[in-house]
Every structure is written in C-alpha cells, then in structure tokens.
Amino acid sequence: MERGTCITLLALLLSSFSSSANHEPTLRAVVSQLYQVLLLSWAALPELPLGELWRQFRAWVAVPLLRVAVFVCLVMSMMVLVEKVSMGLITLYAKVFRRRPERIYKCDPLTEDEEMGSLAYPMVLVQIPMYNEKEVYQLSIGAACNMVWPSDRIIIQVLDDSTDPLIKELVKKECEMWSERGKNVRYERRQNRNGYKAGALKVGMRYSYVESCEFIAMFDADFQPAPDFLLRTVPFLVHNPKIALVQSRWKFGTAIHEAGGWQDRTTVEDMDLAVRAGLAGWKFVYLGDVKVNSELPSTFKAYRYQQHRWSCGPANLFRKMFLKVLMAEGVAMSMKFYVIYNFFVARRIVSHFVTFSFYCVVIPLSVFFPEVIIPKWGLMYAPTAITLINAVATPSSVHLVIFWVLFENVMSLHRCKAVLIGLLETGRVNEWIVTEKLGDMLKTKSNTRASRRFRFKIKERFNLLEIMVGIYLLVCACYDYVYRDDLYCIFIFPQSVAFMIMGFGYIGTIIPGDK
C-alpha cells in the first residue's frame, strides 16, 4: 500500500471520529487538528519508497526511542545495584562484627517457676489459616500441636475457609483428635471468604479467648514448625518489649493492635502489617538459624500464581502507603527513605522492570540497531556485580548461579506484569489463587503416578507468553550471530532456550507416568 493511500485512510478515520457526537468537544478538537496535520503532511511530503521511509523512521523514531530505553534501563540498573551494595555492606558488617540477635538482645531460656509453675510461660496463640488444604492439613496441625510448650499456655487456632465439604470434615476431625489428646485446639469457620487469608486472621483475632494471649504466631498451612520453635523465639519477645516480630512469622500482640490490625486491602497482609508496625517504632528480629519447613509450589503454573501474588501485592501496597509513609509523623527521614526506596521501589518494583525490559527486550532489540551503543558497565559490570552479591548471600547454591539468572529472567516476565497490575490497581490486583500443595503425596511411586495422571492437561503444559518471548530472543540471537560481532548472542541464545523450556513445559510440569 502506498504512503498516500495509508495517510488518506487514516485521515478519513480521524475525520469520522472527530465528527461523532458521542465524544467530548475537547477531544473532537484535538482529533480534528490531527486530521488537518495529516492532510498537510500528505500534501507536503514527497513520494518516498518504502525503504527510504523505513530509514527515516529508524533514524527519527526507532533509534531515539531505543536510546531513551537504554538510558532508563541503565538508571534502573544503578538503582538496583546501589540497593544491593548497601544491603550487602550491612550484611557484611553484621557477619564480621558478629551482630547476631543473640549477642544484641537478651534471650535467656524460659523455665517454670517453682511458685508459678507453667504460668511463668506467656500465653501463645498459634493461627493456621487454611483453604482446601487436603494434602497438608495433617502436617501443619500436627507440627503445631507437637511444639514444646505447656499445654495450658498455648491455643492452636485453625481458621478453616475450605469450601469442599469433605475437606472441612477432615480438618474438623483432625482438630477433634488433637483435642482428645489434651491439646487446646480451636476449629473456627466463617460464613464468607472476604479478605481471603488476611480476612480469616482478622476474624480469628475477635474471639474472646484471644484476649488472654500475649503472643501470636501465624503459620501458613504448608508450614511445619520444629518442636523447639517457641522455646527459641519467644524469649526474644519476653525479654525485649520493643521487639514486635521474630523470624517474620511471629507477631507481638500489642504491635498488631497499635499498627491497625490485619488489613485485607492487599494480598500481602503480613508485609502490610510489618510496614505499619515498623513505622510505629517496633523492632524486628530475624533468626536465620531457626528454620520452619514449608512446601514449594509443585508446578511452574502454581509458582507463577504465587509469584504474581508476591509481586502484585507489594506494588499495590506501595501505591496505598506511599503518602502515608511520606507524611508519617515521628518517623526519621532515613527510615522513610529506606521504606520507600530500598524496601519498595528498588527491591520490589524497579528490580522486576529492569530484569525483563533491559535483559529480555532492550539488549536483544539493540542487535538490529548498531547505532545504539550500550556501555560495558551497564551491560556487564552492573549485572555481574548484582549476581555476585546474590551468590555470596547464598554460598551453598553458588554452583547454580547461571541457571538462577536464566530462570529469574523468565520469571521477570510475570513479575513485571504483576507489578504493573498492582501499581495501576487493575485486573487481577486482588486475585488470590491458593498455591496447590502435594504434602506427602509424592513420597511413594504409586502416589506419584496417580498424581501425574490426575494433574496433566495439555493447556497447562504450554505457556504462550514464554514461547513468544523465546522465539523473539532466538531471532535476535541468530541475527546477532550472523550480522554482528558484539557477541550478545552468547547471552541471548541461552536465555531464549530457557524461555522455550519453560514455555513448552519441560520443567515444572507433572506429566502422565507409566500405567
């Protein structure tokens, strides 16, 4: 189609649009002006072949836009690098000078008093929210009931939102079984699922028996705390009244109320509460050597849903809390800067954008535009430094760093999309799909085969977005190998393979086994 025909058709469309009575006058005026400009452009510009039009478009539009994209990505890379380096230095300082929680805070073990007996132990409420957790309900309830603590000083509250009648009955019977064994287990249900997990926790706090509890522990349904979990964590809370949280799953009751209680406005209720409690002046302690067993998502699809929730939720929380953090009274500017820049912007927003846009879009696209120069420090040094800092933080997995980089780039596609949804508060912003769990189902060969036959569906195996990005990267890698000598293909080709593997379901997909 010739240039004149294209512009004429576009001008006619704009003309009909501007004459429509269904649009606002200001919008009609703008479109009308654009229509006039197009007609003048058509009359003024000489006839040009398509090749020349492409060269002009490339010079005046494509290259400048790509240069702007490179600049923005380099700025984002530096933001992430600064955040990683700052946190790395803090971690190094803590390790070199042995700034362990046990050396900073008093944490003497609790013992029964001769006069008070078990009353020397604080009353603890353990909350376990559940939703159709058929595979793990026995594991989580059993682990909570087996924790070493005076039986008259602990309440295990099972908050069951299950919709399956069979699962509801199974969970209820499990609670009754432990009650018969002398454990104080409360099985609680509500009439709706408003607020999802946060809503269940909020309702759970309203029961009268909760008022007698000094400390509250919350475990997800797939968490299995060790028997000595309470003995190792509660002393920090007892001896240090300003500590509100231990190992991210423990909450000090007063802090919950002063921070405004559980909020169901986002899908990251624990982060919401932690930020509000931190701004209120409470301190948190992380005990790295106290571990709680939990279950990873069983499939790539389940992992994507989980990561969507964990990426969309913080972005949406930032949208809701930005002004509140900025205007918070009695909070130091350094604390506000840390929460806004380190905690939210760099770590949970910019890092996802730069990973996908720079390494999976801009750099591969630049192979078609030799005029666009990407500096080596942004192309190699910054990402290498970020990767090394992450690798040092987990030395036991350093041999997997290359696979980790490729996998994180694949996941950045979904995390970036989730962050946009959270910031714009559209679409799936409050979507809550419970992460599917397998529990002990796959420990035997027969169960493995049964599970595989049950779970496999063709549409669940193929992921169209990953396949499309993989094809795009493959084209870029081939073009770079044939026509360029910058060796970008060394990075782009493995990345295209990673997208293809995930797209065609060769990892993270349970397929039918032999009968």
Question: Residue 19's pLDDT band (boundaries 50, 70, 90)?
Answer: very low
pLDDT per position as a tens digit, 44-92: 555 557 777 888 888 899 999 999 999 999 999 999 999 999 988 888 8
DSSP string, 255-285: HHHHTTS---SSS-HHHHHHHHHHHTT-EEE
Phi–psi pair at 185, nearest 5 degrees = -110, 130
Clarify whether 270 is annotated catalytic: yes
Q: Say if residue 39's pLDDT is above 60.
A: no
The active-site residue, picked from 220, 222, 264, 270, is 270
pLDDT per position as a tens digit, 250-291: 333 455 666 666 676 777 777 887 888 888 777 777 776 776
Q: Which helix (H) or strand (E) holds 351?
A: helix 351-356
In Å, how far are 6, 14, 19, 324 from 11, measured between CA atoms? 9, 5, 12, 48
Report, in angstroms and rounded to the nearest whole number, the Rg of the chain calculated over CA atoms.
28
The answer to whether 143 and 173 have CB atoms below 8 angstroms apart is no
The active-site residue, picked from 160, 161, 222, 480, is 161
Question: Residue 192's pLDDT band (boundaries 50, 70, 90)?
Answer: confident
pLDDT at res. 37 = 53
Mean local confidence (pLDDT), 412-430: 88
3-state secondary structure of 449: helix
pLDDT per position as a tens digit, 214-230: 888 888 888 888 898 89
The answer to whether 253 and 214 have CB atoms below 8 angstroms apart is yes
CA gap 351, 416 in Å, rounded: 9
pLDDT at res. 500 = 95
How far is C-alpha 427 from the geometric centre of its chain's CA atoms?
17
pLDDT at res. 142 = 93
The answer to whether 147 and 225 have CB atoms below 8 angstroms apart is yes
For each of the domains in the chain, give its residue range(s) and CATH number, in order of start. Answer: 79-94+302-503 (no CATH), 118-295 (3.90.550.10)
pLDDT per position as a tens digit, 86-109: 988 888 888 888 888 878 888 888
Residue 145's nearest CA partner among 245, 32, 240, 227 is 227
pLDDT at res. 441 = 54
3-state secondary structure of 134: coil
Which residue shows structure tokens 């924790």? 147
Clarify whether 485 is annotated catalytic: no
Which residue shows structure tokens 């959270």? 422
